[in-house]
Amino acid sequence: MSEPPPAEADPVAFIRRETAIASPPLVPEIRLHLATEITPIWQATETTLAHEGLPPPYWAFAWPGGQALARTILDDPSIVAGKRVLDFAAGSGLVAIAAAKAGARSVIAAEIDRFAAAAIGLNAALNDVTVPVTLEDMVGETGPWDLVLAGDVCYERPMAERVTAWLRRLVASGIEVMIGYPVRSYLPKSGLVEVARHRVPTSLELEDRTERETVIWRLLPE
């Protein structure tokens, strides 16, 4: 008789056990299931990793780019109003939730981590919105979107180059793309127009400072 799967195989149970409901500092209007300390949830995920092959729990933190994008959208709902929106690499779903609350025609969150997908569902319910999630790798796709939002996707060179090339192709096809990101090494050096700028409070457990200046960029085609 085979052994039962570990408790962590249930993403919803894992999320509820390892997080607390809180609001990101820059977006107090939205509540999320968030890690209150980085170490316990990282260790819990690594314990599960041997069984499940999980990526790190990026979905359990409200990263600066996502907070800045969500803040920008809530401050200016015309950015998303009436549009079909894709939140790429959605993490906690913060940006997708903000878009839904701000009046987007439709919103879909793209995440390849099934634990993130579960977190997005829980977080959307907390905020009384509906956010469908796709677990497909959307890079290379040209879905029926008017606007693609991407927060914190340029932290590694291979991913940054692959994603940026795809996003520029989307822009060339007429789809609007906005990126929320602190100034880091792998952000494109050109073809960006600044839309907004925010100072996002950060944790020293995640960053090397207590706040990080984060810019919202509109991506231009090559």
The pTM of the full predicted model, rounded to 2 decimals, is: 0.88
The 10s digit of each residue's pLDDT in 98-108 is: 999 999 999 99
Q: Could you give the CA distance from residue 189 to residue 202 in angstroms, rounded to a whole number?
A: 24
**Which pair of structure tokens corresponds to residue 5?**
């799967």
**Which pair of structure tokens corresponds to residue 209?**
């400072």
Contacting residues for 62 by C-beta, under 8 A, at least 6 apart: 24, 27, 32, 34, 92, 94
What is the three-class DSSP state of 156? coil
Residue 64, amino acid: P
Environment class of 115 (CB within 10 Å of its CB; exposed 0-12, middle 13-18, buried 19+):
buried
What is the three-class DSSP state of 6? coil
- What sign does the CA torsion over 28, 65, 128, 77 have? positive
Domains of the chain listed by start with CATH number: 7-59 (no CATH), 63-219 (3.40.50.150)
The 10s digit of each residue's pLDDT in 136-190 is: 999 989 889 999 999 887 666 677 788 888 999 999 999 999 999 876 556 777 8
pLDDT < 70: residue spans in the chain: 1-8, 37-40, 42, 45-55, 154-157, 183-186, 204-208
